[in-house]
Amino acid sequence: MYKGFFIRGRIAPLLIHGALLVLVLGVLCTPLPGEGGPPGQDRQDFTSRLPQRLISLAPSITEILYFLELGDKVVGVTSYCNYPAEVKEKPRVGTYWEYNLEAILALKPDLALVMADQAEGESSLAGLRHWGIPVYRAQADTLPQLFQTIEDIARLTGQEEVARRRLPKLKARVHRVEAAVHGLPRLRVFLQIDEEPLITAGRAAVHHDLIQRAGGLNIAGFLEPRYPIFSLEEVLKAQPQVILFTSMVGEQALPGRLAFWRRWPMLPAVAEGRLHWVDPDLIDRPGPRLVDGLELLARLFHPETAGGVSPESRAMK
């Protein structure tokens, strides 16, 4: 999440034949009904021919492609793409911060898809452009942006009917959560991503949008950086009522984090035993399962109205 994104590997003596139009498309926020937001950029197709060989350079993109029933057209994914189960059989082209250009070229894709602000930088896309591979660059820092991204990818790949069939169900689930927590007191929430230094989610992170929609108040939401360093003193001052743990290192980090926070029993979250591990795949990845993550957070923040703690999360008391 915090590493740079580099192109590794020798440039293979492979050429993608044919004149391919390269377009990097940034997707901006398109609001849910009744919400405001900046308009999206002009959008246009890469070519008149629908892409048949897709490379996903982010786990979230992979999940979107499968949501759109495009699994048979996915020819390469990152080593962190693990959902759905059938994706494990796909060729790997590196991680989402360091991919192997030679491996990508060997798969002869006609479209590569990346997620903005998920570690890859503009310079990392130069190799793909050089070899004539069209690139779709998505932006999904909120649920409305995610839904717009899904619609755009559906349009680019000819799966509009699938999006029309499946997206309304996701949006309805979001609205049910928002209705359930509407008017309830917002609990102060601290999300810990890393510990040395203490890193959390700022206003630009997708976690912030989920926390707010689930009826929480992100105590770091006033900070502009996506993943800011947040001092212990700031946490103690904010007095969070819920502390969430999510990390790429997995649940093995949980015992140490629980032990650390239990040193501060004056925090309401500690005193009330509201220290929760949350599967990072449900709240870190801007894909369709963000809605699962939203529902989970709502149950953690307001179990009295949202059905209690789900099986995916374990409240550690």
pLDDT (tens, 9 = 90+) of the chain, 317 residues, equals 433 333 333 333 333 333 333 333 333 333 333 333 333 333 334 556 899 999 999 999 999 999 999 999 999 999 999 999 999 999 999 887 778 888 999 999 999 999 886 554 455 677 888 888 899 999 899 999 999 999 999 999 999 999 999 999 999 999 999 999 999 999 999 999 988 899 999 999 999 999 999 999 999 999 999 999 999 999 999 999 999 998 766 677 788 889 999 999 999 999 999 999 999 999 999 999 999 999 999 999 999 875 433 444 434 33
CA 229 to chain centre: 20
The b-or-e profile of 139-174 (16+ CB within 10 A means b, else e) is bbbbbbbbbbbbbbbbebbebeebbeebbeebeeeb
pLDDT for 38 equals 31
Do 177 and 302 touch, CB atoms closer than 8 A? Answer: no
Structure tokens at 201: 């989610």
Q: Which helix (H) or strand (E) holds 217?
A: strand 216-218
With CA atoms as reference, report the closest residue to 174 among 210, 201, 208: 210
Q: Are 134 and 22 within 8 A, CB to CB? A: yes
User: Which tokens belong to 147?
Assistant: 């839904």
Q: Which three-class secondary structure state does DSSP give residue 205? A: coil
Predicted confidence at residue 298, as pLDDT, reads 96
Residue 261 CB partners (closer than 8 Å, separation 6+) = 243, 267, 269, 270, 275
Query: Is-contact 60 285, C-beta < 8 A?
Result: yes
CB 29 within 8 A of CB 142: yes
Domains (ranges, CATH) in the chain?
A: 6-170 (3.40.50.1980), 183-316 (3.40.50.1980)
Q: pTM for this one?
A: 0.81
Q: How far apart are CA 12 and CA 74, in angstroms?
A: 21
10 Cβ contact partners less than 8 Å away, ≥ 6 residues apart: 102
Q: What residues have CB less than 8 Å from 18, skipping those under 6 apart?
A: 132
- pLDDT the model gives residue 37: 33
Contact 304, 294 (CB under 8 A): no
Pure H helices in the chain:
59-67, 101-106, 126-130, 143-157, 160-181, 206-213, 232-238, 254-261, 268-271, 280-283, 290-301, 303-306
The strand pair at 187-192 and 242-245 is best described as parallel
Please give the backbone phi and psi of residue 185, each rounded to the nearest 5 degrees, phi first: -60, 135
Tokens of 79: 């080593």
Phi-psi region of 240 (alpha: psi -120 to 50; beta: other; left: phi over 0): beta
